[in-house]
């Protein structure tokens, strides 16, 4: 015997009021006499009535859900942002539809489409690069879009980040001050704006300001993964680098382990600094010095920004930059 779902109409009838009144008490509208409100509440309780969010969404044109596009939940960096997003979303009574894109442009576009089909009220995008198509999809979207921990070359999309250029600049400067002049820059694909226009820029600026010539051979592009980093050892050694700045913690762990596994002493013969401040930086031996950044907060603030956008509130600033720091651990002198 399949239990028929109880609707707003059922409780209206049972309570001898109109649907409108039931709707009012359910939605906390003040214009209801206390007595009737109680009466309705009782019936709701008795019937175990639960509002159907889908019907509500159709009628109100608000789904109280936001879409989240993430490269891969399995990546601690993005997962940390996602956690911040979900917490703030929950706080504001939104749910999250999560879709993994693997940073694949086609899948990002597909996600945008299904998310919009599901009438999400807003979208948070995390990704390494924003294609032109994607950008135009963002623009067309009736749901506002906010970038979290992701850089937009055009600079027009609301976003929450840290100042990647400045962060890398500081860290490289630190490495230089430690006496290094052959510092590797290890990152994912340089075609990505975040790597090319910000991090690499910071790296170059630091070298320039220190009067150290920039060498292309010290750029190492690879998979953003542990194994991607691990595979770099020979090339690194051949180029006689004495230090490296790495843009991802998994990748950094790979680089460092490949060195220590080969008998290289860290930080004695090789210094390493990484970028994402995930808990992995404390789990490796030696522990890894890193740029610190409030991962959770980047997600949280992005979601908060999105709530404002969804409410058409005035925004002081479209692009917010959260403070970063430098944490010295064992992998640098």
With CB under 8 A as the contact rule, the residue among 19, 26, 41, 79 that binds a copy of itself is 79
Cα(124)–Cα(146) distance, integer angstroms: 5
9-28 residues near DNA, rule: CB under 7 A: 9, 16-21, 23-24, 26-27
Q: Shortest distance, CB of residue 38 to DNA, whole angstroms?
A: 10
Cα(70)–Cα(79) distance, integer angstroms: 8
With CB under 7 A as the contact rule, the residue among 1, 35, 213, 313 that binds DNA is 35
Contacts with a copy of itself, 175-204, as mask; x by CB under 8 A: ------------------------------
Q: Residue 294 binds what, of DNA, a copy of itself, none (CB under 5 to 8 Å, by partner type)?
A: none
Q: Based on the shown chain and the rule CB under 7 A, indicate whether residue 55 belongs to the binding site for DNA.
A: yes
Q: Are 64 and 57 in contact (CB under 8 A)?
A: yes
Q: Shortest distance, CB of residue 309 to DNA, whole angstroms?
A: 18
Q: Shortest distance, CB of residue 203 to a copy of itself, whole angstroms?
A: 25
Q: Based on the shown chain and the rule CB under 7 A, indicate whether residue 31 belongs to the binding site for DNA.
A: yes
Taking contact as CB under 8 A, which single stretch among the options 74-82, 152-160, 190-198, 238-246 is the one that binds a copy of itself?
A: 74-82
With CB under 8 A as the contact rule, the residue among 173, 242, 260, 292 that binds a copy of itself is 260
With CB under 8 A as the contact rule, the residue among 36, 100, 242, 292 that binds a copy of itself is 100
Question: Token digits for 246?
Answer: 């790495």
Q: Based on the shown chain and the rule CB under 8 A, indicate whether residue 57 belongs to the binding site for a copy of itself.
A: yes
Where on the chain is the footprint of a copy of itself (CB under 8 A)?
2-3, 5, 50-55, 57-58, 63, 65, 68, 72-74, 76, 79-80, 82-83, 86-87, 90, 95-100, 113-119, 142, 226, 250, 253, 257, 260-261, 279-280, 282-285
**Residues at the site binding DNA, with contacts judged by CB under 7 A:** 5, 7-9, 16-21, 23-24, 26-27, 30-33, 35-37, 49-52, 55-56, 58-61
């Amino acid at each position: 015997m399949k239990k028929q779902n109880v609707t707003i109409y059922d409780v209206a009838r049972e309570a001898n009021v109109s649907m409108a009144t039931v709707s009012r008490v359910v939605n906390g509208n003040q214009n209801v006499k206390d007595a009737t409100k109680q009466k309705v509440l009782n019936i709701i309780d008795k019937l175990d009535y639960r509002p159907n969010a889908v019907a509500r969404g159709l009628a109100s044109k608000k789904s109280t859900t936001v879409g989240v596009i993430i490269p891969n939940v399995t990546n601690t960096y993005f997962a940390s942002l996602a956690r911040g997003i979900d917490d703030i979303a929950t706080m504001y009574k939104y749910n999250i539809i999560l879709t993994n894109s693997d940073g694949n442009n086609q899948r990002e576009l597909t996600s945008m489409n299904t998310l919009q089909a599901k009438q999400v009220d807003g979208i948070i995008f995390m990704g390494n690069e924003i294609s032109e198509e994607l950008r135009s999809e963002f623009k067309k979207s009736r749901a506002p879009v906010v970038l979290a921990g992701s850089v937009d070359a055009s600079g027009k999309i609301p976003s929450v980040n840290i100042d990647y250029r400045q962060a890398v600049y500081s860290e490289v400067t630190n490495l230089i001050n430690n006496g290094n002049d052959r510092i590797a820059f290890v990152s994912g694909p340089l075609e990505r704006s975040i790597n090319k226009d910000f991090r690499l820029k910071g790296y170059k600026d630091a070298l320039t300001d220190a009067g150290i010539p920039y060498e292309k051979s010290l750029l190492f592009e690879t998979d953003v993964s542990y194994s991607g980093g691990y595979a770099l050892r020979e090339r690194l050694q051949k180029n006689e680098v004495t230090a490296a700045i790495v843009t991802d913690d998994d990748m950094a762990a790979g680089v460092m382990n490949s060195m220590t596994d080969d008998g290289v002493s860290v930080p004695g013969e090789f210094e390493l600094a990484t970028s994402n401040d995930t808990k992995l930086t404390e789990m490796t031996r030696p522990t890894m010095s890193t740029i610190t950044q409030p991962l959770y907060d980047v997600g949280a603030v992005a979601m908060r920004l999105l709530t404002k956008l969804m409410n058409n509130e005035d925004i002081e600033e479209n692009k917010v930059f959260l403070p970063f720091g430098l944490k010295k651990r064992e992998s640098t002198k």
